[in-house]
């Protein structure tokens, strides 16, 4: 499987080879066991030597990915709003049908009756129960 992939990449562009090399590096990094952590006293960590070219490239890539995600998010939000509008119009058209209005009103009446039955305390059938009176001392 891997050999086929490498053969295809060798025929491909330089960009594809670069992507495959990065993918292999990531896989090696993920498969290698983590280095044991040595407890250190609380001291500020020294900053690594700055690599301005590499850092700016990474920041630029992150910025582009962020812009792409924001664009996708905006498109998805527009689709959600359109779907909500379509759903509202559909429900309104269904409720314009007199038969559906009647069914809905019957449903509401049944629902209100069920709620009222739950809210009322149960009635005691036998109201002739003897009362217990405590003797006065």
Render pLDDT for 33-56 as a digit per residue (tens, 0 to 9): 666 665 555 555 665 555 677 788
- Rounded (5°) CA angle 128-132-137: 150
How large is the average pLDDT for residues 65-91? 95
Give the integer Cα–Cα distance in Å for 22 and 9. Answer: 13
Render pLDDT for 10-24 as a digit per residue (tens, 0 to 9): 556 777 788 888 888
* Run of H or E including 31: helix 14-31
In this prediction the pTM is 0.38
User: Between the CA of residue 58 and those of 15, 21, 51, 55, 63, what are the distances in Å?
Assistant: 17, 17, 11, 5, 9
């Amino acid at each position: 499987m891997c050999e086929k992939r490498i053969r295809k990449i060798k025929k491909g562009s330089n960009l594809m080879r670069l992507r495959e090399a990065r993918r292999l590096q990531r896989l090696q990094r993920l498969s290698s066991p983590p280095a044991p952590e040595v407890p250190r006293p609380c001291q500020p960590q020294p900053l690594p030597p700055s690599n301005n070219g590499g850092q700016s490239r990474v920041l630029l890539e992150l910025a582009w990915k962020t812009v792409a995600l924001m664009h996708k998010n905006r498109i998805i939000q527009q689709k959600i709003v359109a779907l909500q509008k379509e759903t509202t119009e559909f429900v309104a058209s269904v409720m314009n049908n007199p038969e559906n209005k009647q069914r809905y009103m019957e449903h509401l009446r049944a629902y209100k009756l069920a709620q009222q039955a739950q809210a009322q305390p149960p009635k005691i059938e036998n109201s002739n129960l003897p009362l217990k009176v405590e003797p006065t001392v």
